[in-house]
Amino acid sequence: MPIHPTRREFIVSTVAGAALAGDSARADTYPSRPIRLIVPYSPGGGGDIMARIFAPALGKILKQTVVIENKPGASAIIGTEIVAKAAPDGYTLLLTQNDPVINAAVYQNLPYDTLGDLTPISKLATFPFYLAVKADSPIKTVDDLVTFARAHPEKANFASTGSVFWLVCELFAQKTRLTLTRVTYRGGGAMVLAVISGQVLFTFAGAAPISGAASAGTIRVLASTASHRDPAFPDVPTFAEAGIPGMTILSWSSLWAPAKMPAAIVETVSHAARQAIAMPDVVAEMKRVKVDADGSTPEAFKRSFEAELAMWKEVAKKAGISAKL
């Protein structure tokens, strides 16, 4: 006996089909106008530099202009919120560093749900953190630093920003059972200068601010959070080699979009992003600023994000770190 759909079922089916057709049509013509790339950092910083390397390459692949808009403030929360609340049509994207995972681990009242309101598109680049002290310090190894900090708790302080550098230092304190005092600075360059001037005992920073000071002989690099030694610092051991497991961590730059973006557009942007960071001139520029191209599928990026979020939430909980906007 044939089953005939009711009028309601027919209407629902028709509307759903039209919606799918609309998504398909949008994906077929995407992108048909310039794309906004929201960068939640000030011009000239590490995240902005990465955006200015990446945006022209993405535009070349997508055959459309990619316009960078700097929206700094509130530990990258202001710019991230703009994208979280934007139309999910592929014309507003976010390029950020680790801030989405750190903010989700630390803040209780973000104005968005990171994975609920945003779509992870791809990682773009990674780099390790380097532990550094002043060059004329008697501290020559990680063990020396731990011994000194235990013997002189009043001098056991570190420089950090309010982002991932802070939690990396807290993880180090937990792994070594040290009690450390945090001194806040506005960026990696300022953190390194604080070490050089003797304002703080040590810092964790990226290769870009570390390299110049190391070449000038004003800081001593003790260890790297990479899984293997960096050719730029062949004499610097990894933390695993220095006898401190669980400190293999990479910072990253990444690309995000609003949630509920059509799957076809997600795939288009993700594939284009991975193509862009594989371009020889992009790879060369990334090497120049001491980062490694490292793309991923949206699914792989989401899995790694969730794993990192669980780790940083545990670090923040043990350190008693919790913040409200």
| Domain containing residue 136: CATH number | 3.40.190.10
Residue 241 has pLDDT above 50, yes or no: yes
6-17 b/e with 16+ CB inside 10 Å = b? eeeeeeeeeeee
Residue that is written with structure tokens 């703080």 in the block: 200
Radius of gyration of the chain (CA): 22
Q: Is residue 285 part of a domain?
A: yes
Residue 182 has pLDDT above 80, yes or no: yes
Q: Residue 26 has what pLDDT?
A: 60
Q: Is residue 99 part of a domain?
A: yes
Q: Is residue 148 part of a domain?
A: yes
Residue 4 has pLDDT above 60, yes or no: no
Q: Classify residue 297 by its DSSP letter.
A: -
Please check whether residues 175 and 104 belong to one and the same domain: no
**Beta strands 35-39 and 202-205, pairing class:** unpaired
Residue 105 has pLDDT above 70, yes or no: yes
User: pLDDT (tens digit, 9 = 90+) per residue, 149-161?
Assistant: 999 999 999 999 8
Please check whether residues 212 and 265 belong to one and the same domain: no
Domain coverage including residue 179: 130-224
Q: Residue 57 has what pLDDT?
A: 98
CATH number for the domain spanning 309: value is 3.40.190.150
**Average pLDDT of span 106-127:** 96
**Of 158, 155, 151, 162, whose CA–CA distance to 133 is shortest?**
158
Q: Residue 186 has what pLDDT?
A: 80
Q: Residue 5 has what pLDDT?
A: 54
Please check whether residues 104 and 134 belong to one and the same domain: no
Q: What are phi and psi of 71, to 5 degrees?
A: -130, 70
Coil, helix or strand at residue 93: strand
Lay out the sheet containing 130-134: strands in order across: 181-184, 157-160, 202-205, 130-134, 219-224
**Average pLDDT of span 291-310:** 96
Question: To the nearest whole percent, how much of the chain has pLDDT over 70?
Answer: 92
Instruction: Tally the domains of the chain.
Output: 2
Please check whether residues 144 and 216 belong to one and the same domain: yes
**Average pLDDT of span 71-89:** 96
Please check whether residues 40 and 67 belong to one and the same domain: yes
Q: Is residue 8 part of a domain?
A: no
Q: Residue 8 has what pLDDT?
A: 53
**Of 99, 63, 62, 67, whose CA–CA distance to 81 is shortest?**
99
Q: Is residue 12 part of a domain?
A: no
Q: Residue 189 has what pLDDT?
A: 86
CB within 8 Å of 103: residues ≥ 6 apart: 75, 76, 77, 80, 110, 114
User: What is the pTM for the complete model shown?
Assistant: 0.86
The dihedral formed by the CA atoms of 34, 38, 41 and 43, expressed in degrees to the nearest 10: 10
Q: Is residue 64 part of a domain?
A: yes
Q: Residue 6 has what pLDDT?
A: 56
Please check whether residues 144 and 210 belong to one and the same domain: yes
d(CA 174, CA 214): 27
**Average pLDDT of span 180-201:** 93
Please check whether residues 289 and 310 belong to one and the same domain: yes
The mean predicted confidence, pLDDT, of the chain is: 91
Please check whether residues 122 and 149 belong to one and the same domain: no
Please check whether residues 180 and 203 belong to one and the same domain: yes
Residue 232 has pLDDT above 90, yes or no: no
Q: What are residue 93's DSSP bridge partners?
A: 37
